Homo-oligomer: A and B are copies of this chain.
């Protein structure tokens, strides 16, 4: 059976780890009769080293040269992994995007895969040669090397599985599973056996760093089950799958996630122009500032606006706002905020989840500054010193300790 297996940068971070990965692949071939197709990220630290050189030299250059530079990291890791397999008597072939035919659009630094040729992969597998594919990279219509952005190697792996008609994609990483909460923050957090694509995508956008939303979206589109598991342990990790089955049996909440780098910006009174909000948020988008939760309210004294941004974007946001307001509008800034969220498809079939969420925080005297909900998540912005208490209490409230 053909299985696409993707190994992340930490799994390949040293020569010893590359050897360990090679051992594990050989074992799976011998014991399970698998025909693996491997996808590798750059050795950990390498992509950052390359980005840092580019940043020092020409910080704003996003020409094809930038993508070519970044793509060199995967060229190194797939060559070394193929050599580690050779050393164990296993034929292997490292394959760059141009050799395999991974065609993308021409969007620099965040290209999207348009098509993958799988003939040569099938041929290699038939000859018992293990293909070792460079993740993160593609080639546009002009033979330029492109890269797929953060989490790009996961996307390569899922796209390969989809193109091969394989219904499983294994993603090996340095954590053993997706957890009901970050165990560093919530000590009672436990591994999740199975989670839906939608939940995983919400978690990714709410601060979970285990998987990038884009690869999960692709997996959902082509119904490729992702098995996320540890490179360093044998036990199963978390299956990311389409919902199916009886949704009534699902727990109301699947996980608590958090994002500690949140800044809240409040404007009062906002300029009394009909185009103000549209102009402000267009200007912020243009500067690359991602605005998360937005609330607006009318009072006799004027209109109030509050929204949250990533703390990294704080200064860019302030600079942009200055260009859109007059002296009449006062800006107040709340640094040191955090976002805590609960995610679960079970919410769709359950009333009063929001009330339970608010009550849980209120019972601990934790004030909520901003709040937003969707059909499968509730998020609140709170003060960062209260994050740990909030996350643990929500985790307990929704019975995630098991």
Number of copies: 2
Chain A residues 33-74 with CB under 8 Å of chain B are 50, 53-54, 56-58, 61, 63-66, 68-69, 71-72
Contacts of A58 in B (CB 8 A): 83-84, 86-87
Given contacts A63-B86, A143-B99, contact A68 B79 (CB under 8 A): yes
Whether the Cβ atoms of A83 and B61 lie closer than 8 Å is yes
Q: In the complex, A87→B56 CA distance in Å? A: 11
Are B53 and A15 in contact, CB atoms less than 8 angstroms apart? yes
A76 partner, pick from B50, B78, B84, B87, beta carbons under 8 A: B50
Docked Cα-Cα span, A86 to B68, in Å, equals 15
A296-327 near B? 1/0 per residue, CB < 8 Å? 00000000000000000000000000000000
Shortest A398–chain B CB gap in Å is 47
Contact B65 A83 (CB under 8 A): yes
In the complex, the chain B residue whose C-beta lies closest to that of A19 is B57
* The residue from B19, B53, B83 contacting A63, defined by CB atoms under 8 A apart: B83
Instruction: Tell whether A394 is near chain B: CB-to-CB under 8 Å.
Output: no
Which residues on the B side are within 8 Å of A57 (C-beta)?
15, 18-19, 80, 83-84, 87
How near does chain B come to A121, taking the closest CB pair, in angstroms?
14
Asked whether A86 lies within 8 Å of B61 as measured between CB atoms, the reply is: yes
B residues less than 8 Å from A79 (CB atoms): 54, 65-66, 68-69, 72
Q: B19, B65, B78, B96: which contacts A82 (Cβ < 8 A)?
A: B65
Chain B residues in 8 Å Cβ range of A15: 53, 56-57
Complex Cα gap A295–B83 (Å): 43
- Bound-state Cα–Cα, A385 to B269, Å: 88
The bracket for how many chain A residues form the interface is: 35 or more
Contact A71 B65 (CB under 8 A): no
B residues in contact with A54, CB < 8 Å: 79-80, 83
**Contact A65:B86 (CB < 8 A) given known A57-B18, A72-B76:** yes
A145 contacts across to B, CB distance below 8 A: 96
- Asked if A230 CB lies within 8 Å of chain B CBs, one says no
A257 to chain B, nearest CB (A): 37
Write the A89-117 contact mask toward B (1 if CB under 8 angstroms, else 0).
00011101011000000000000000000
**Closest chain B CB from A76 CB (angstroms):** 5
Contact of A69 among B69, B75, B93 (CB under 8 A): B75
Q: Is the CB of A72 within 8 A of B72?
A: yes
Q: Which one of B68, B92, B98, B143 contacts A65 once the chains associate, using CB atoms below 8 Å? A: B92
Beta-carbon nearest neighbor of A75 in chain B? B72
A64 CB, min distance to chain B CBs, angstroms: 7
- Quote the shortest CB–CB distance from A53 to chain B (angstroms): 6
Q: Give the chain B neighbours of A64 by CB distance below 8 A.
A: 93-94
Q: Are A75 and B71 in contact (CB-based, < 8 A)?
A: yes
Which of A68, A79, A99 has the most C-beta atoms of chain B within 10 angstroms of its own C-beta?
A79
Q: How far is the CB of A206 from chain B (nearest CB, A)?
A: 35
User: Are B63 and A68 in touch, CB under 8 angstroms?
Assistant: no
Q: Chain B residues near A76 (CB, 8 Å)?
A: 50, 53, 69, 72
Identify A94's interface contact among B19, B68, B86, CB under 8 A: B68
Chain A residues 137-178 with CB under 8 Å of chain B are 143-145
Convert A307-350 into 0s and 1s, putting 1 for each residue whose CB lies closer than 8 angstroms to a CB of B. Answer: 00000000000000000000000000000000000000000000
Contact of A68 among B50, B75, B84, B87 (CB under 8 A): B75
The 0/1 profile, CB within 8 Å of B marked 1, for residues 169-198 of chain A is: 000000000000000000000000000000
In chain B, what residue has the closest Cβ to A81? B65
Given contacts A57-B84, A61-B87, A98-B143, list 9 more A-B pairs with CB under 8 A.
A58-B84, A64-B94, A65-B78, A65-B92, A66-B83, A68-B96, A72-B75, A72-B76, A98-B98
* CB-defined A-B contacts under 8 Å, sample of 8: A15-B57, A53-B80, A65-B79, A65-B86, A66-B79, A68-B75, A68-B94, A69-B76
